[in-house]
Amino acid sequence: MNIRALLPCLLLITLATSAARAETPLERGRYLVNSIVACGNCHTPQTPNGPEAGKELAGQFLIKTPGFTAYAPNISRDPETGIGKWTDEQIINAIRNGRRPDGTLIGPPMPFEFYRHMSDSDVKGIVAYLRTVPPVKNTATRSTYNFPLPPAYGPEVTTVPDVPKDDPVKYGEYLTGPLAHCWACHSPIVNGEPDYEHQFGAGGQVLEGPWGVAVTANITPHEDGIRDYSDEDIARAITTGVRPDGSKLSAPMGFYYYKNIRPDDLKAMVAYIRTVPPKPTPK
């Protein structure tokens, strides 16, 4: 057989093997941080048009609430002002248990109630990616809390298994919860905390920041929420920040990151959102 006849075969073999090749931890982490997980939605300085170029994960003033004034620190790999000197285990412990290497607890609104359930593969991928983000020098101001932080966010998490992708509803629950913490913004605040128990996803949380005042939407399948949206409508609102009526969503809804969510993951997210108990928007 001559080489010309062989070429199409070789091409097919190459395509097939690259499609079958599993993502490396770094590829997984790059995808997650720049899409669903969106650490930068809090940790990267934001401009009116999205994340500030050249300042990825360099830290910023985040939010002032009646209970606290939070600054998201520099988590680029700068050794002095970022987390360049932290070991992989220390960074994982900070993400899942909310604990710094010196033993102190990290305060809200970093969503540890969700990040505690992040799988070992995903959290390791995120750390692999953080190691590649260019270092930026920036010392963030300390946050202040008008209440004592708890001693811990729960029993120490050391290992979490992967969530299989074969059941879209289950995987969608993992994507919108432990990875994306959608519910931390989309559940109303009662007694200083999101009311996950009675009003999961019912919206009505008031968020004040550089974007002005944004009120989170009801994303349950209630008439106040996304009941009348098609799957495509929900997916489009998440990834483009545009509602079915053409109106635009405001930050801090994370569409600058969510635009990179892959179609399969979006499908699973929508499948799970449809199963959440419908709740009216709090008045």
Give the residue with the Cβ less far from ligand HEC, 64 or 198.
64
The answer to whether 60 and 71 are in contact (CB under 8 A) is yes
Q: Is 58 in the site for ligand HEC (CB under 6 A)?
A: no
List 128, 160, 189, 249, residue binding ligand HEC (CB under 6 A): 249
d(CA 152, CA 61) in angstroms, rounded, equals 24
CB of 91 to ligand HEC, least distance (A): 6
The answer to whether 93 and 170 are in contact (CB under 8 A) is no
Nearest to 157 by CA among 125, 195, 114, 104: 114
List 60, 76, 93, 143, residue binding ligand HEC (CB under 6 A): 143
Identity of the amino acid at 147? F
CB of 3 to ligand HEC, least distance (A): 49
Give the residue with the Cβ less far from ligand HEC, 24 or 270.
270
Hey, is 121 helix, strand or coil? Answer: helix
List 29, 51, 73, 178, residue binding ligand HEC (CB under 6 A): 73
Longest dimension (CA), the chain: 78
Q: Is 214 in the site for ligand HEC (CB under 6 A)?
A: yes
Phi, then psi, of 207 in degrees rounded to 5: -120, 120
- Return the range that interacts with ligand HEC (CB under 6 A); candidates 8-16, 151-159, 166-174, 216-224: 216-224
The answer to whether 227 and 22 are in contact (CB under 8 A) is no
Q: Is 39 in the site for ligand HEC (CB under 6 A)?
A: yes
Size of the site for ligand HEC (CB under 6 A): 45
Q: Is 177 in the site for ligand HEC (CB under 6 A)?
A: no
List 182, 202, 266, 268, residue binding ligand HEC (CB under 6 A): 182
CB of 22 to ligand HEC, least distance (A): 21
Q: Is 181 in the site for ligand HEC (CB under 6 A)?
A: yes
Identity of the amino acid at 169? V
Residues 6 or more apart whose CB falls under 8 angstroms from that of 160 comprise: 96, 116, 117, 118, 119, 120, 123
Q: 275 is written with which tokens?
A: 């199963």
The answer to whether 82 and 76 are in contact (CB under 8 A) is yes
Q: Is 157 in the site for ligand HEC (CB under 6 A)?
A: no
Q: Is 260 in the site for ligand HEC (CB under 6 A)?
A: no
The answer to whether 79 and 72 are in contact (CB under 8 A) is no
CB of 48 to ligand HEC, least distance (A): 14
d(CA 129, CA 30) in angstroms, rounded, equals 5
Note the residues at the interface with ligand HEC (CB under 6 A): 37, 39, 41-43, 62, 70, 72-73, 75, 83, 91, 94-95, 100, 106-107, 109-111, 126, 143, 176, 180-182, 185-186, 207, 214, 216-217, 219, 226, 234, 237-238, 243, 249-250, 252-254, 258, 269
